[in-house]
Structure 1
Amino acid sequence: MKKVSIVTVNFNQPQVTEDLLKSLSEVNTYPDLEIIVVDNGSKVNSVPNWEAAYPGIIFIRSEKNTGFAGGNNIGIRKATGDYLFLINNDTEVTGELIGKLVADMEANPKIGIISPKIHYFDQPEMLQYTGYTPMNYYTARNACIGQFEEDRGQYDSLSGVTGYAHGAAMMIRRQALEKAGGMAENYFLYYEELDWCERIRKAGYEIHVDLSALIYHKESVSVGKRSALKEYFMNRNRILFIRKNAPGLTFFIFCCYFLVAVVPRNIIQYIKNREFSFIPVFIRSITWHFKNKPDSENLGYPLIR
Protein backbone atom coordinates (compact mmCIF):
# COMPACT_ATOMS: atom_id res chain seq x y z
CA MET A 1 0.00 0.00 0.00
CA LYS A 2 1.29 3.44 -0.95
CA LYS A 3 1.97 6.00 1.75
CA VAL A 4 0.13 9.33 1.49
CA SER A 5 1.42 12.49 3.12
CA ILE A 6 -1.35 14.95 4.01
CA VAL A 7 -0.08 18.54 4.02
CA THR A 8 -2.24 21.35 5.35
CA VAL A 9 -1.48 24.94 6.36
CA ASN A 10 -2.97 26.80 9.31
CA PHE A 11 -3.12 30.59 9.54
CA ASN A 12 -5.04 31.93 12.54
CA GLN A 13 -7.71 29.19 12.32
CA PRO A 14 -6.84 26.62 15.00
CA GLN A 15 -10.40 25.32 15.46
CA VAL A 16 -10.89 24.91 11.72
CA THR A 17 -7.64 22.95 11.52
CA GLU A 18 -8.71 20.76 14.43
CA ASP A 19 -11.98 20.00 12.64
CA LEU A 20 -9.97 18.77 9.65
CA LEU A 21 -7.81 16.57 11.89
CA LYS A 22 -10.97 15.12 13.41
CA SER A 23 -12.32 14.44 9.94
CA LEU A 24 -9.12 12.64 8.93
CA SER A 25 -9.23 10.58 12.11
CA GLU A 26 -12.92 9.67 12.17
CA VAL A 27 -14.08 9.70 8.54
CA ASN A 28 -11.11 8.76 6.35
CA THR A 29 -10.71 5.03 5.67
CA TYR A 30 -7.27 5.07 4.01
CA PRO A 31 -4.84 3.58 6.54
CA ASP A 32 -1.32 4.62 5.53
CA LEU A 33 -1.24 8.35 6.23
CA GLU A 34 1.39 10.81 7.34
CA ILE A 35 -0.26 14.07 8.47
CA ILE A 36 1.74 17.30 8.42
CA VAL A 37 0.33 20.61 9.71
CA VAL A 38 2.25 23.81 9.01
CA ASP A 39 1.40 26.80 11.20
CA ASN A 40 2.16 29.69 8.87
CA GLY A 41 3.03 32.55 11.20
CA SER A 42 -0.25 32.64 13.14
CA LYS A 43 -0.53 35.26 15.86
CA VAL A 44 -1.02 32.53 18.46
CA ASN A 45 1.31 29.54 18.23
CA SER A 46 -0.93 26.48 18.69
CA VAL A 47 1.80 23.96 17.90
CA PRO A 48 2.79 23.09 21.52
CA ASN A 49 -0.83 22.34 22.45
CA TRP A 50 -1.37 20.37 19.25
CA GLU A 51 1.73 18.27 19.79
CA ALA A 52 0.38 17.26 23.19
CA ALA A 53 -3.15 16.59 21.91
CA TYR A 54 -2.35 14.86 18.60
CA PRO A 55 0.55 12.42 18.98
CA GLY A 56 1.66 10.95 15.68
CA ILE A 57 0.94 14.10 13.69
CA ILE A 58 3.84 16.27 12.50
CA PHE A 59 3.50 19.96 13.37
CA ILE A 60 5.81 22.62 11.97
CA ARG A 61 5.88 26.26 13.05
CA SER A 62 6.92 29.03 10.65
CA GLU A 63 7.50 32.32 12.44
CA LYS A 64 6.38 34.32 9.40
CA ASN A 65 3.50 33.99 6.97
CA THR A 66 5.06 32.58 3.81
CA GLY A 67 1.82 32.52 1.81
CA PHE A 68 -0.10 29.58 0.39
CA ALA A 69 2.78 28.26 -1.69
CA GLY A 70 5.42 28.86 0.96
CA GLY A 71 3.44 27.17 3.70
CA ASN A 72 2.73 24.12 1.57
CA ASN A 73 6.35 23.93 0.45
CA ILE A 74 7.44 23.76 4.10
CA GLY A 75 5.23 20.72 4.56
CA ILE A 76 6.26 19.21 1.23
CA ARG A 77 9.92 19.27 2.23
CA LYS A 78 9.08 17.25 5.36
CA ALA A 79 6.79 14.74 3.61
CA THR A 80 7.95 11.16 2.98
CA GLY A 81 4.89 9.72 1.20
CA ASP A 82 4.69 8.21 -2.28
CA TYR A 83 1.86 10.66 -2.88
CA LEU A 84 1.33 14.05 -1.29
CA PHE A 85 -2.22 15.30 -0.73
CA LEU A 86 -2.32 19.04 -0.20
CA ILE A 87 -5.63 20.10 1.32
CA ASN A 88 -6.83 23.39 2.75
CA ASN A 89 -7.30 23.36 6.50
CA ASP A 90 -10.93 24.47 5.95
CA THR A 91 -11.88 21.20 4.24
CA GLU A 92 -13.38 17.98 5.57
CA VAL A 93 -12.82 14.64 3.88
CA THR A 94 -15.14 11.82 2.90
CA GLY A 95 -14.34 8.21 3.70
CA GLU A 96 -13.19 6.89 0.32
CA LEU A 97 -11.66 10.14 -0.93
CA ILE A 98 -7.97 9.39 -0.45
CA GLY A 99 -8.24 5.76 -1.50
CA LYS A 100 -9.94 6.69 -4.76
CA LEU A 101 -7.29 9.25 -5.65
CA VAL A 102 -4.50 6.78 -4.87
CA ALA A 103 -6.22 4.17 -7.05
CA ASP A 104 -6.34 6.67 -9.90
CA MET A 105 -2.64 7.39 -9.53
CA GLU A 106 -1.75 3.71 -9.40
CA ALA A 107 -3.83 2.91 -12.48
CA ASN A 108 -2.45 5.72 -14.64
CA PRO A 109 1.24 6.71 -14.33
CA LYS A 110 0.63 9.68 -16.63
CA ILE A 111 -1.31 11.47 -13.86
CA GLY A 112 0.98 13.99 -12.17
CA ILE A 113 -1.63 15.74 -10.04
CA ILE A 114 -5.31 15.07 -9.38
CA SER A 115 -8.17 16.81 -7.56
CA PRO A 116 -11.51 15.44 -6.36
CA LYS A 117 -14.93 16.95 -6.81
CA ILE A 118 -15.45 19.80 -4.34
CA HIS A 119 -18.74 20.73 -2.67
CA TYR A 120 -19.36 23.75 -0.45
CA PHE A 121 -19.49 22.64 3.18
CA ASP A 122 -22.30 25.00 4.18
CA GLN A 123 -24.39 24.03 1.13
CA PRO A 124 -23.36 20.39 0.74
CA GLU A 125 -25.28 19.74 -2.48
CA MET A 126 -23.69 22.72 -4.26
CA LEU A 127 -20.67 22.27 -6.50
CA GLN A 128 -17.54 24.36 -6.18
CA TYR A 129 -15.30 22.45 -8.60
CA THR A 130 -15.55 19.68 -11.16
CA GLY A 131 -12.53 20.74 -13.20
CA TYR A 132 -11.18 23.79 -14.99
CA THR A 133 -11.36 24.79 -18.62
CA PRO A 134 -8.03 25.48 -20.34
CA MET A 135 -6.49 28.92 -19.95
CA ASN A 136 -6.93 31.54 -22.67
CA TYR A 137 -3.42 33.00 -22.62
CA TYR A 138 -4.48 36.10 -24.55
CA THR A 139 -6.90 37.18 -21.81
CA ALA A 140 -5.77 35.08 -18.80
CA ARG A 141 -9.31 33.77 -18.48
CA ASN A 142 -10.62 30.29 -17.77
CA ALA A 143 -13.61 28.86 -15.93
CA CYS A 144 -14.25 26.64 -12.94
CA ILE A 145 -16.70 24.06 -14.26
CA GLY A 146 -19.96 23.61 -12.35
CA GLN A 147 -19.35 26.22 -9.65
CA PHE A 148 -22.49 27.29 -7.74
CA GLU A 149 -24.64 24.63 -9.43
CA GLU A 150 -26.57 21.91 -7.63
CA ASP A 151 -24.78 18.60 -8.09
CA ARG A 152 -27.07 16.32 -10.09
CA GLY A 153 -24.19 14.32 -11.52
CA GLN A 154 -24.32 16.43 -14.66
CA TYR A 155 -20.52 16.71 -14.89
CA ASP A 156 -19.48 13.27 -13.64
CA SER A 157 -18.60 12.14 -17.15
CA LEU A 158 -15.82 14.76 -17.17
CA SER A 159 -13.61 12.66 -14.89
CA GLY A 160 -10.14 12.47 -16.41
CA VAL A 161 -7.92 15.13 -17.90
CA THR A 162 -8.79 18.69 -16.86
CA GLY A 163 -7.27 22.14 -17.24
CA TYR A 164 -6.02 22.59 -13.68
CA ALA A 165 -6.18 21.06 -10.24
CA HIS A 166 -7.91 22.99 -7.46
CA GLY A 167 -5.71 24.42 -4.72
CA ALA A 168 -8.12 23.34 -1.97
CA ALA A 169 -7.41 19.65 -2.62
CA MET A 170 -4.73 18.22 -4.91
CA MET A 171 -2.76 14.98 -4.78
CA ILE A 172 0.63 14.97 -6.50
CA ARG A 173 2.84 12.04 -7.47
CA ARG A 174 6.28 12.22 -5.87
CA GLN A 175 8.04 11.67 -9.19
CA ALA A 176 6.13 14.60 -10.70
CA LEU A 177 7.05 16.76 -7.71
CA GLU A 178 10.72 15.87 -8.10
CA LYS A 179 10.65 16.85 -11.78
CA ALA A 180 8.54 20.01 -11.48
CA GLY A 181 9.65 21.23 -8.06
CA GLY A 182 7.45 22.87 -5.45
CA MET A 183 5.08 25.79 -5.92
CA ALA A 184 6.52 29.19 -6.85
CA GLU A 185 6.47 31.17 -3.62
CA ASN A 186 6.59 34.63 -5.20
CA TYR A 187 2.91 34.38 -6.09
CA PHE A 188 2.14 34.45 -2.33
CA LEU A 189 -1.65 34.37 -2.96
CA TYR A 190 -3.62 33.29 -6.05
CA TYR A 191 -2.52 31.59 -9.29
CA GLU A 192 0.24 29.54 -7.66
CA GLU A 193 -1.53 26.20 -8.17
CA LEU A 194 -2.25 27.07 -11.82
CA ASP A 195 1.42 27.83 -12.38
CA TRP A 196 2.34 24.57 -10.62
CA CYS A 197 0.04 22.62 -12.92
CA GLU A 198 1.71 24.23 -15.93
CA ARG A 199 5.13 23.07 -14.74
CA ILE A 200 3.83 19.58 -13.96
CA ARG A 201 2.38 19.41 -17.47
CA LYS A 202 5.69 20.57 -18.96
CA ALA A 203 7.40 17.80 -16.97
CA GLY A 204 5.39 15.29 -19.01
CA TYR A 205 2.41 14.58 -16.76
CA GLU A 206 -1.35 15.09 -17.01
CA ILE A 207 -3.70 17.04 -14.74
CA HIS A 208 -6.78 15.02 -13.72
CA VAL A 209 -9.99 15.23 -11.76
CA ASP A 210 -11.89 12.30 -10.23
CA LEU A 211 -15.55 13.19 -9.80
CA SER A 212 -16.32 10.02 -7.85
CA ALA A 213 -14.10 11.35 -5.05
CA LEU A 214 -15.53 14.14 -2.91
CA ILE A 215 -14.29 16.71 -0.40
CA TYR A 216 -16.18 19.51 1.36
CA HIS A 217 -14.77 23.03 1.44
CA LYS A 218 -15.79 25.66 3.99
CA GLU A 219 -15.05 28.57 1.68
CA SER A 220 -18.03 30.90 1.53
CA VAL A 221 -20.38 30.67 -1.43
CA SER A 222 -20.38 34.48 -1.49
CA VAL A 223 -17.58 36.19 -3.36
CA GLY A 224 -16.11 37.41 -0.09
CA LYS A 225 -15.00 40.83 1.03
CA ARG A 226 -12.92 42.78 -1.42
CA SER A 227 -9.63 43.99 -0.01
CA ALA A 228 -6.60 45.87 -1.24
CA LEU A 229 -4.45 42.79 -0.66
CA LYS A 230 -6.74 40.66 -2.82
CA GLU A 231 -6.92 43.27 -5.58
CA TYR A 232 -3.15 43.59 -5.63
CA PHE A 233 -2.29 39.90 -5.81
CA MET A 234 -5.13 38.91 -8.13
CA ASN A 235 -4.01 41.47 -10.71
CA ARG A 236 -0.26 41.21 -10.21
CA ASN A 237 -0.35 37.41 -10.36
CA ARG A 238 -2.67 37.29 -13.35
CA ILE A 239 0.00 39.15 -15.27
CA LEU A 240 2.79 37.11 -13.67
CA PHE A 241 1.15 33.81 -14.65
CA ILE A 242 1.01 34.79 -18.33
CA ARG A 243 4.49 36.31 -18.18
CA LYS A 244 5.88 33.02 -16.87
CA ASN A 245 3.92 30.59 -19.01
CA ALA A 246 3.03 32.17 -22.38
CA PRO A 247 5.28 32.70 -25.41
CA GLY A 248 6.58 36.23 -25.96
CA LEU A 249 4.13 37.23 -28.69
CA THR A 250 1.20 35.88 -26.70
CA PHE A 251 2.33 37.84 -23.65
CA PHE A 252 2.53 40.99 -25.76
CA ILE A 253 -1.03 40.49 -27.02
CA PHE A 254 -2.19 39.85 -23.44
CA CYS A 255 -0.54 43.10 -22.31
CA CYS A 256 -2.38 45.01 -25.03
CA TYR A 257 -5.66 43.42 -23.95
CA PHE A 258 -4.98 44.17 -20.29
CA LEU A 259 -4.15 47.82 -20.92
CA VAL A 260 -7.04 48.43 -23.31
CA ALA A 261 -9.78 46.40 -21.60
CA VAL A 262 -8.89 45.53 -18.00
CA VAL A 263 -7.27 48.74 -16.79
CA PRO A 264 -10.10 51.15 -17.74
CA ARG A 265 -12.76 48.65 -16.63
CA ASN A 266 -11.20 48.18 -13.19
CA ILE A 267 -10.62 51.89 -12.59
CA ILE A 268 -14.20 52.70 -13.59
CA GLN A 269 -15.41 50.00 -11.21
CA TYR A 270 -13.29 51.35 -8.33
CA ILE A 271 -14.67 54.86 -8.90
CA LYS A 272 -18.24 53.59 -9.20
CA ASN A 273 -17.90 51.61 -5.94
CA ARG A 274 -16.07 54.50 -4.25
CA GLU A 275 -13.08 52.22 -3.68
CA PHE A 276 -10.62 55.01 -4.42
CA SER A 277 -7.88 53.47 -2.29
CA PHE A 278 -7.77 50.48 -4.65
CA ILE A 279 -6.60 52.59 -7.60
CA PRO A 280 -2.96 53.04 -6.46
CA VAL A 281 -2.89 49.38 -5.37
CA PHE A 282 -4.04 48.32 -8.82
CA ILE A 283 -1.44 50.53 -10.49
CA ARG A 284 1.25 49.08 -8.19
CA SER A 285 0.23 45.56 -9.27
CA ILE A 286 1.02 46.53 -12.86
CA THR A 287 4.17 48.59 -12.34
CA TRP A 288 5.71 45.75 -10.29
CA HIS A 289 6.38 44.04 -13.60
CA PHE A 290 8.43 46.94 -14.93
CA LYS A 291 10.75 46.74 -11.93
CA ASN A 292 11.05 43.00 -11.24
CA LYS A 293 11.97 39.79 -13.01
CA PRO A 294 9.35 37.00 -13.09
CA ASP A 295 11.16 35.04 -10.36
CA SER A 296 11.73 38.05 -8.09
CA GLU A 297 11.09 37.43 -4.40
CA ASN A 298 10.05 41.06 -3.96
CA LEU A 299 6.30 40.84 -3.43
CA GLY A 300 5.85 44.57 -3.87
CA TYR A 301 3.20 44.78 -1.17
CA PRO A 302 4.44 46.47 2.04
CA LEU A 303 1.75 45.06 4.34
CA ILE A 304 2.97 41.46 3.94
CA ARG A 305 6.58 41.36 5.08
Structure 2
Amino acid sequence: MQKVNNIPLVSIVTVNYNNAAVTAALLASVARNDYERVEMIVVDNASSENPTALYAKDYPWVKVIRSETNLGFAGGNNLGIQAATGEYLFLVNNDTEFTPGLIPALLEVFQSHPDAGIVSPKFHFFYEPGIIEYAGYNKMDVLTGRNSMIGRGQRDDGQYAELTNTWYAHGGAMMIKRSVLEDVGPMPDMYFLYYEELDWCEQFRRKGYQLYFQPAALIYHKESASTGKNSPLKTYYLTRNRILFMRRNVKWHQLLLFAGYFTCITIPKNTLGFLLRRESEHLKAFWKGVSWHLKWQ
Protein backbone atom coordinates (compact mmCIF):
# COMPACT_ATOMS: atom_id res chain seq x y z
CA MET A 1 0.00 0.00 0.00
CA GLN A 2 1.46 3.34 -1.04
CA LYS A 3 1.73 6.13 1.49
CA VAL A 4 2.09 9.86 0.94
CA ASN A 5 4.70 11.34 3.30
CA ASN A 6 4.29 8.19 5.44
CA ILE A 7 0.61 8.99 5.99
CA PRO A 8 -1.49 5.85 5.42
CA LEU A 9 -4.79 5.96 3.59
CA VAL A 10 -7.78 5.28 5.85
CA SER A 11 -10.95 3.97 4.21
CA ILE A 12 -14.04 5.03 6.15
CA VAL A 13 -17.04 2.75 5.53
CA THR A 14 -20.59 3.46 6.65
CA VAL A 15 -23.95 1.86 5.85
CA ASN A 16 -27.07 3.90 5.10
CA TYR A 17 -30.63 2.62 5.27
CA ASN A 18 -33.43 5.16 4.82
CA ASN A 19 -31.49 7.79 6.77
CA ALA A 20 -29.95 10.04 4.14
CA ALA A 21 -30.00 13.14 6.36
CA VAL A 22 -28.34 11.34 9.27
CA THR A 23 -25.65 9.98 6.95
CA ALA A 24 -25.14 13.46 5.47
CA ALA A 25 -24.41 14.80 8.97
CA LEU A 26 -21.73 12.13 9.35
CA LEU A 27 -20.23 13.10 5.98
CA ALA A 28 -20.14 16.74 7.04
CA SER A 29 -18.21 15.80 10.17
CA VAL A 30 -15.79 13.69 8.12
CA ALA A 31 -15.25 16.68 5.83
CA ARG A 32 -14.20 18.70 8.89
CA ASN A 33 -11.84 16.02 10.20
CA ASP A 34 -8.15 16.85 10.58
CA TYR A 35 -6.66 13.75 8.96
CA GLU A 36 -5.24 14.24 5.47
CA ARG A 37 -5.82 10.95 3.68
CA VAL A 38 -9.29 9.41 3.84
CA GLU A 39 -11.42 7.47 1.40
CA MET A 40 -15.13 7.73 2.21
CA ILE A 41 -17.44 4.89 1.19
CA VAL A 42 -21.21 4.91 1.78
CA VAL A 43 -23.05 1.63 1.21
CA ASP A 44 -26.74 2.22 0.65
CA ASN A 45 -28.64 -0.85 1.82
CA ALA A 46 -31.56 -0.72 -0.64
CA SER A 47 -33.12 2.43 0.82
CA SER A 48 -36.56 3.32 -0.51
CA GLU A 49 -35.01 6.42 -2.07
CA ASN A 50 -31.59 6.25 -3.67
CA PRO A 51 -29.43 8.95 -1.97
CA THR A 52 -26.58 8.78 -4.51
CA ALA A 53 -27.47 12.03 -6.28
CA LEU A 54 -27.75 13.89 -2.97
CA TYR A 55 -24.30 12.79 -1.82
CA ALA A 56 -22.77 13.41 -5.26
CA LYS A 57 -24.01 17.01 -5.17
CA ASP A 58 -22.88 17.92 -1.66
CA TYR A 59 -20.00 15.47 -1.15
CA PRO A 60 -18.48 14.64 -4.56
CA TRP A 61 -15.47 12.97 -2.90
CA VAL A 62 -17.68 10.21 -1.46
CA LYS A 63 -17.91 6.83 -3.17
CA VAL A 64 -21.50 5.51 -3.00
CA ILE A 65 -22.24 1.81 -3.47
CA ARG A 66 -25.90 0.98 -3.97
CA SER A 67 -27.08 -2.49 -2.95
CA GLU A 68 -30.32 -3.66 -4.53
CA THR A 69 -31.13 -5.72 -1.43
CA ASN A 70 -30.81 -4.97 2.27
CA LEU A 71 -27.70 -6.89 3.32
CA GLY A 72 -27.91 -5.98 6.99
CA PHE A 73 -25.17 -4.39 9.06
CA ALA A 74 -22.48 -6.99 8.43
CA GLY A 75 -23.34 -7.54 4.77
CA GLY A 76 -23.36 -3.82 4.07
CA ASN A 77 -20.02 -3.31 5.78
CA ASN A 78 -18.52 -6.27 3.95
CA LEU A 79 -19.63 -4.76 0.63
CA GLY A 80 -17.89 -1.53 1.55
CA ILE A 81 -14.76 -3.37 2.67
CA GLN A 82 -14.54 -5.04 -0.74
CA ALA A 83 -14.41 -1.62 -2.41
CA ALA A 84 -11.99 -0.05 0.07
CA THR A 85 -8.35 0.55 -0.89
CA GLY A 86 -6.93 1.93 2.37
CA GLU A 87 -4.24 0.37 4.52
CA TYR A 88 -6.62 0.87 7.43
CA LEU A 89 -10.39 0.51 7.44
CA PHE A 90 -12.60 2.49 9.79
CA LEU A 91 -16.13 1.07 9.99
CA VAL A 92 -18.52 3.61 11.51
CA ASN A 93 -22.25 3.82 12.07
CA ASN A 94 -23.98 6.43 9.95
CA ASP A 95 -25.45 7.94 13.14
CA THR A 96 -22.03 8.94 14.47
CA GLU A 97 -20.11 12.18 14.12
CA PHE A 98 -16.34 12.68 14.17
CA THR A 99 -14.36 14.84 16.59
CA PRO A 100 -10.89 16.39 16.08
CA GLY A 101 -8.00 13.95 16.43
CA LEU A 102 -10.18 10.85 16.12
CA ILE A 103 -8.33 9.08 13.30
CA PRO A 104 -4.73 9.87 14.38
CA ALA A 105 -5.43 8.66 17.93
CA LEU A 106 -6.76 5.34 16.63
CA LEU A 107 -3.84 4.88 14.23
CA GLU A 108 -1.38 5.48 17.06
CA VAL A 109 -2.54 2.29 18.77
CA PHE A 110 -1.60 0.17 15.75
CA GLN A 111 1.80 1.84 15.60
CA SER A 112 2.54 1.23 19.29
CA HIS A 113 0.82 -2.16 19.66
CA PRO A 114 1.58 -4.60 16.81
CA ASP A 115 -0.86 -7.11 18.30
CA ALA A 116 -3.83 -4.76 17.75
CA GLY A 117 -6.71 -6.31 15.82
CA ILE A 118 -9.49 -3.75 16.29
CA VAL A 119 -9.38 -0.36 18.00
CA SER A 120 -12.52 1.51 19.09
CA PRO A 121 -12.72 5.09 20.41
CA LYS A 122 -14.57 6.40 23.42
CA PHE A 123 -18.26 7.05 22.70
CA HIS A 124 -20.33 9.93 24.02
CA PHE A 125 -24.08 10.20 23.51
CA PHE A 126 -24.65 12.88 20.86
CA TYR A 127 -27.76 14.24 22.55
CA GLU A 128 -26.25 14.12 26.06
CA PRO A 129 -22.95 16.02 25.86
CA GLY A 130 -20.32 14.76 28.27
CA ILE A 131 -22.12 11.48 29.00
CA ILE A 132 -20.29 8.26 28.17
CA GLU A 133 -21.87 5.51 26.14
CA TYR A 134 -18.81 3.27 25.73
CA ALA A 135 -15.43 3.00 27.43
CA GLY A 136 -14.90 -0.68 26.63
CA TYR A 137 -16.95 -3.84 27.04
CA ASN A 138 -17.09 -6.33 29.86
CA LYS A 139 -16.78 -10.06 29.20
CA MET A 140 -19.85 -11.94 27.99
CA ASP A 141 -21.72 -13.66 30.82
CA VAL A 142 -21.96 -17.30 29.70
CA LEU A 143 -25.03 -17.85 31.87
CA THR A 144 -27.16 -14.97 30.56
CA GLY A 145 -25.62 -14.40 27.11
CA ARG A 146 -25.33 -10.71 27.89
CA ASN A 147 -22.54 -8.27 28.53
CA SER A 148 -22.33 -4.60 29.42
CA MET A 149 -20.57 -1.44 28.33
CA ILE A 150 -18.05 0.04 30.73
CA GLY A 151 -18.87 3.61 31.75
CA ARG A 152 -22.30 3.77 30.12
CA GLY A 153 -24.38 6.64 31.50
CA GLN A 154 -21.53 8.16 33.50
CA ARG A 155 -20.38 11.76 33.16
CA ASP A 156 -16.94 11.82 31.61
CA ASP A 157 -14.63 13.23 34.26
CA GLY A 158 -11.53 11.59 32.85
CA GLN A 159 -11.98 8.35 34.78
CA TYR A 160 -11.32 6.29 31.63
CA ALA A 161 -8.12 7.91 30.40
CA GLU A 162 -5.89 4.88 29.85
CA LEU A 163 -5.54 2.78 26.71
CA THR A 164 -6.88 -0.65 27.69
CA ASN A 165 -7.72 -4.05 26.30
CA THR A 166 -11.43 -4.62 25.92
CA TRP A 167 -13.40 -7.82 25.48
CA TYR A 168 -15.26 -6.36 22.51
CA ALA A 169 -14.98 -3.42 20.16
CA HIS A 170 -17.98 -1.14 19.64
CA GLY A 171 -19.64 -1.93 16.31
CA GLY A 172 -20.36 1.76 15.80
CA ALA A 173 -16.67 2.60 15.26
CA MET A 174 -14.01 -0.04 14.60
CA MET A 175 -10.62 0.61 13.02
CA ILE A 176 -8.86 -2.42 11.53
CA LYS A 177 -5.57 -2.85 9.71
CA ARG A 178 -6.08 -4.38 6.26
CA SER A 179 -3.48 -7.12 6.75
CA VAL A 180 -5.23 -8.22 9.95
CA LEU A 181 -8.64 -8.20 8.26
CA GLU A 182 -7.29 -10.38 5.47
CA ASP A 183 -6.08 -12.86 8.09
CA VAL A 184 -9.35 -12.97 10.07
CA GLY A 185 -11.89 -12.68 7.26
CA PRO A 186 -15.10 -10.65 6.81
CA MET A 187 -17.74 -9.88 9.41
CA PRO A 188 -20.14 -12.82 9.89
CA ASP A 189 -23.27 -11.84 7.98
CA MET A 190 -25.70 -14.47 9.25
CA TYR A 191 -26.62 -12.11 12.11
CA PHE A 192 -27.99 -9.29 9.90
CA LEU A 193 -28.33 -6.94 12.92
CA TYR A 194 -26.77 -7.06 16.42
CA TYR A 195 -24.13 -9.36 17.92
CA GLU A 196 -22.20 -9.65 14.63
CA GLU A 197 -19.35 -7.43 15.83
CA LEU A 198 -19.14 -9.41 19.08
CA ASP A 199 -18.82 -12.65 17.11
CA TRP A 200 -16.23 -10.99 14.87
CA CYS A 201 -14.22 -9.92 17.91
CA GLU A 202 -14.18 -13.53 19.10
CA GLN A 203 -12.69 -14.49 15.74
CA PHE A 204 -9.99 -11.82 16.08
CA ARG A 205 -9.04 -13.13 19.51
CA ARG A 206 -8.87 -16.71 18.26
CA LYS A 207 -6.30 -15.51 15.73
CA GLY A 208 -4.22 -13.99 18.53
CA TYR A 209 -5.10 -10.32 18.06
CA GLN A 210 -5.98 -7.92 20.85
CA LEU A 211 -8.91 -5.50 20.98
CA TYR A 212 -8.26 -2.01 22.32
CA PHE A 213 -10.27 0.88 23.72
CA GLN A 214 -8.58 4.20 22.90
CA PRO A 215 -9.87 6.97 25.21
CA ALA A 216 -7.82 9.63 23.40
CA ALA A 217 -10.21 9.21 20.44
CA LEU A 218 -13.81 10.39 20.80
CA ILE A 219 -16.86 9.88 18.61
CA TYR A 220 -20.47 11.01 19.13
CA HIS A 221 -23.32 8.53 18.70
CA LYS A 222 -27.00 9.23 18.08
CA GLU A 223 -27.84 5.57 18.90
CA SER A 224 -30.43 3.43 17.13
CA ALA A 225 -31.24 5.97 14.43
CA SER A 226 -31.97 3.23 11.89
CA THR A 227 -33.85 0.61 13.90
CA GLY A 228 -35.47 2.71 16.61
CA LYS A 229 -34.71 2.50 20.31
CA ASN A 230 -37.49 0.00 21.01
CA SER A 231 -38.83 -1.69 17.90
CA PRO A 232 -40.12 -5.24 17.21
CA LEU A 233 -37.32 -5.56 14.64
CA LYS A 234 -34.79 -4.90 17.37
CA THR A 235 -36.52 -7.35 19.71
CA TYR A 236 -36.41 -10.09 17.06
CA TYR A 237 -32.75 -9.75 16.16
CA LEU A 238 -31.55 -9.25 19.72
CA THR A 239 -33.37 -12.43 20.74
CA ARG A 240 -32.34 -14.52 17.76
CA ASN A 241 -28.75 -13.37 17.75
CA ARG A 242 -28.21 -13.66 21.49
CA ILE A 243 -28.86 -17.37 21.13
CA LEU A 244 -26.89 -17.60 17.88
CA PHE A 245 -23.83 -15.97 19.42
CA MET A 246 -23.82 -18.44 22.30
CA ARG A 247 -24.26 -21.40 19.97
CA ARG A 248 -21.24 -20.29 17.96
CA ASN A 249 -18.87 -19.07 20.67
CA VAL A 250 -19.11 -20.98 23.95
CA LYS A 251 -18.20 -24.49 25.03
CA TRP A 252 -20.87 -27.16 25.16
CA HIS A 253 -21.22 -27.17 28.97
CA GLN A 254 -21.55 -23.36 28.97
CA LEU A 255 -24.19 -23.61 26.28
CA LEU A 256 -26.17 -26.01 28.47
CA LEU A 257 -26.07 -23.52 31.34
CA PHE A 258 -27.23 -20.73 29.04
CA ALA A 259 -30.01 -22.89 27.57
CA GLY A 260 -31.28 -23.63 31.06
CA TYR A 261 -31.24 -19.97 32.06
CA PHE A 262 -32.88 -18.83 28.84
CA THR A 263 -35.62 -21.48 29.08
CA CYS A 264 -36.41 -21.06 32.77
CA ILE A 265 -35.82 -17.32 33.24
CA THR A 266 -35.67 -15.34 30.00
CA ILE A 267 -38.62 -16.90 28.16
CA PRO A 268 -41.13 -16.66 31.04
CA LYS A 269 -39.95 -13.18 32.06
CA ASN A 270 -40.09 -11.67 28.57
CA THR A 271 -43.34 -13.38 27.63
CA LEU A 272 -45.07 -12.15 30.79
CA GLY A 273 -43.59 -8.67 30.41
CA PHE A 274 -44.80 -8.24 26.85
CA LEU A 275 -48.26 -9.55 27.80
CA LEU A 276 -48.60 -7.20 30.78
CA ARG A 277 -47.49 -4.23 28.69
CA ARG A 278 -49.80 -5.35 25.86
CA GLU A 279 -46.89 -5.30 23.41
CA SER A 280 -48.18 -7.99 21.11
CA GLU A 281 -45.81 -7.14 18.24
CA HIS A 282 -42.80 -7.43 20.53
CA LEU A 283 -44.15 -10.72 21.88
CA LYS A 284 -44.44 -12.10 18.35
CA ALA A 285 -40.96 -10.83 17.50
CA PHE A 286 -39.48 -12.42 20.62
CA TRP A 287 -40.98 -15.83 19.90
CA LYS A 288 -40.03 -15.57 16.24
CA GLY A 289 -36.44 -15.03 17.36
CA VAL A 290 -36.56 -18.07 19.62
CA SER A 291 -38.26 -20.34 17.09
CA TRP A 292 -35.72 -19.45 14.37
CA HIS A 293 -33.31 -21.79 16.13
CA LEU A 294 -35.60 -24.76 15.60
CA LYS A 295 -34.69 -24.52 11.91
CA TRP A 296 -31.10 -23.21 11.94
CA GLN A 297 -28.38 -25.84 12.11
| TM-score band, normalised by shorter chain | over 0.9
Alignment of 1:144-163 (within 5 A): 144-157=149-162, 159-163=163-167
- After superposition, the C-alpha distances for 1:273-300 in whole angstroms (9 at most, x for unaligned) are 112343333222122112112xxxxxxx
Q: Kindly state the Cα deviation for residue 224 of structure 1 after the two structures are TM-superposed.
A: 5.5
* Counterpart selection for 1:95 from 93, 100, 109: 100
- Runs of 5+ in structure 1 lacking a partner? 294-305
Conserved? CA contact 1:187–1:237, under 8 Å: yes
Alignment of 1:50-69 (within 5 A): 50-69=55-74
Given the superposition, is the C-alpha separation of residues 226 and 122 from structure 1 closer, same or farther in structure 2, using an over 3 Å criterion? Answer: closer
Q: Kindly state the Cα deviation for residue 55 of structure 1 after the two structures are TM-superposed.
A: 2.5
Q: Does 1:78 align with 2:83?
A: yes
Distance 1:225 1:10 in 2: 17
Distance 2:273 2:74 in 1: 30
> How large is the RMSD of aligned CA atoms in angstroms?
1.7
- After superposition, the C-alpha distances for 1:5-25 in whole angstroms (9 at most, x for unaligned) are 100111111111111111111
**What is the TM-score when the length of structure 1 is the normalising length?**
0.91
Conserved? CA contact 1:120–1:220, under 8 Å: no
**What is the TM-score when the length of structure 2 is the normalising length?**
0.93
* Counterpart selection for 2:45 from 40, 47, 70: 40
Of 49-58 and 260-269, deviating more is 49-58
Given the superposition, is the C-alpha separation of residues 173 and 44 from structure 1 closer, same or farther in structure 2, using an over 3 Å criterion? Answer: same
Q: Kindly state the Cα deviation for residue 174 of structure 1 after the two structures are TM-superposed.
A: 1.2
Q: 2:3: which partner in 1? A: none
Amino acid aligned to 2:202: E
- SS of 1:21's equivalent in the other structure is helix
* Counterpart selection for 1:2 from 8, 15, 29: 8
Q: Does 1:188 align with 2:192?
A: yes
Q: Does 1:137 align with 2:142?
A: yes
* Counterpart selection for 1:22 from 18, 24, 28: 28
Q: 1:249: which partner in 2? A: 253
Conserved? CA contact 1:176–1:203, under 8 Å: no
Q: Kindly state the Cα deviation for residue 122 of structure 1 after the two structures are TM-superposed.
A: 1.3
- SS of 1:186's equivalent in the other structure is coil
Count of matched residue pairs: 290
What is the percent sequence identity of the aligned residues? 48
Distance 1:34 1:225 in 2: 30
